[in-house]
Amino acid sequence: MVAVVALLSSCTVGPDYVRPQQPVPDDFVSGPADQQTLPRPKTQWWKHFGSAELDALVEEALANNHDVRAAMHRIAQAEARAGIEAGALLPLVQAVGKAETARKSRHTIGASTTTLQHLDQAGLEASYEVDLWGKNRSAMNAALATAHASVYERETVAVTLVSDVVTTYLQYLQGCERVAVAARNVDNMKRVLAKVTRRQQIGEGTDLEVQQQNSALHNAEATVPILELTRDQMFNRLAFLLGKAPGELKIETRTLDGLAVPEVTPGLPSELLLRRPDVRRAEANLVSANANVGMARAKLFPSLTLTGDRGWSSSDLINLTSPGSLYWTMGAKLVQTLFDNGKTNSEIAYYEARWNELIEVYRQSIVASLRDVEDALLTIRYATDRDRAQADMVRSSREAHRLSQESFAIGLIDYLVVLETERTQYNAEDGKIQARHARLAASVALFKALGGGTEDDEDQDAGKAGQHSSGGQSDEVKG
């Protein structure tokens, strides 16, 4: 009987899981001309920026951010749900103790009698639903895949959090530099205003020149509060990402110049994109939906439940454990649903539709990852070109402004030339800061597009082995 039950319980009616095919190109059209393969960053990619302060902020955010903590609790919920479903694979055994008293009345012609009956019982009860068609195992597999999906969701939250922390940190440093440049521009304009005023006082200048410089100065002064507001908002957002109040956050760095531009080495695009946590989460949801299809299909077939109990039963508590009080029962129940008004078929149709929906979600996540990488590579290429051009522009504008001041001092050029070179120098320096920030931010976008980086070769091999053994992410998994 045990052999028959074991044989029957090995049967499944659910479909085998096969990963949907989605073509992934070998090369990226937006990569550098001399290297078309996808960059391969390390897992702790933020350390490529060479900032100990940034490293500490990221570690603190990963430890204290409330979204990450909430995601960890969702993992615990999914694991507990998987444990609930796994419990149905083994018999349910309960210890039972009962004490019953019954009053029975018997009426006859001219007489009535009443008796009290007391019964004490102690023993074990067991019940087991034989998983003939894999219904319970499919439910467990679905719950396990959902648990895997919650793990990848937590990784997605962590990748997004780290990229937000790094991006906000860069935006804050950019704000600090832009405020400093704007303040220097204001000071420089004040010095020029003093020169123009002295020239007007000795009759070499005009009131128009004084008012023009005054207007330019006030415009520069009005720019500073706007930049300060943006800078302080980034500071507050960084504190929020770290899960603390702004008053508790201290940042010493004030410039982007101390940060290194990350360099990455080539790798395999298809492997990297499939390692993105959002792609892996989409596939885990596919595995879960596939298992749910099998669970629903199994409900079309009969269910077999075995029950049994053994213990002691006596009307006198003192004789409860005597050999004569022993009892046992065994039973089996086979149930086949004959009519449920289409409920089971509708459930199958629902899970099959859910499966088809998640196939498209999975494929769309891969297409989205391709777009993210292409956009990031394009941004890196053009931001690098812009950064270099802005650096040349700053050098030229500074020299032009110096020469214009010297020429204006000896009366060789008109004041409007000085005003224009002044404006050009400020715009060039401000643009250089923005170009530097764009170049660094593009690296962050690329790391995020790759799913936050990859492990070393040894860790990758171990990870693949772990995925295969878990049965949740291999190319073909029993549903």
- pLDDT tens digits along 333-364: 888 888 888 888 998 899 889 888 889 988 88
Read off the CATH number of the domain in which 458 is found.
1.20.1600.10
- 161 in any annotated domain: yes
How many CB atoms are located within 10 Å of the residue 190 CB?
A: 13
In the chain, the number of structural domains is 1
Give the pLDDT band (50/70/90) at residue 24. Answer: low
Predicted local distance difference test score (pLDDT) of residue 38: 43
- 170 in any annotated domain: yes
The model carries a pTM of 0.73
* Three-class DSSP category at 94: strand
Q: Which helix (H) or strand (E) holds 423?
A: helix 415-449
- 62 in any annotated domain: yes
- 315 in any annotated domain: no
Distance in angstroms (rounded) separating the CA atoms of residues 275 and 154: 14
In this structure, the chain runs to a length of 479
Distance in angstroms (rounded) separating the CA atoms of residues 437 and 151: 33
Burial class (CB in 10 A: 0-12, 13-18, 19+), 375: middle
- Report phi then psi at 389, rounded to 5: -65, -40
120 forms beta bridges with 99, 314
For the stretch 206-224, pLDDT in tens is: 888 889 889 989 998 999 9
Question: In Å, how far from its chain's centre is CA 262?
Answer: 23
Q: Which of 361, 330, 415, 377 is nearest to 125 (CA)?
A: 330
- 104 in any annotated domain: no
Predicted local distance difference test score (pLDDT) of residue 20: 81
Give the pLDDT band (50/70/90) at residue 296. Answer: confident
Q: What is the DSSP string of 265-293?
A: EEE-HHHHHHT-HHHHHHHHHHHHHHHHH
- 286 in any annotated domain: yes
Distance in angstroms (rounded) separating the CA atoms of residues 238 and 246: 8
Q: Which of 65, 432, 448 is nearest to 237 (CA)?
A: 65
130 within 8 A of 199, measured Cβ to Cβ? no
Q: What is the span of the domain harbouring residue 399?
A: 12-93+132-302+341-477
- 416 in any annotated domain: yes
Determine the average pLDDT of the residues in 180-192: 88
Distance in angstroms (rounded) separating the CA atoms of residues 428 and 425: 5
- 106 in any annotated domain: no
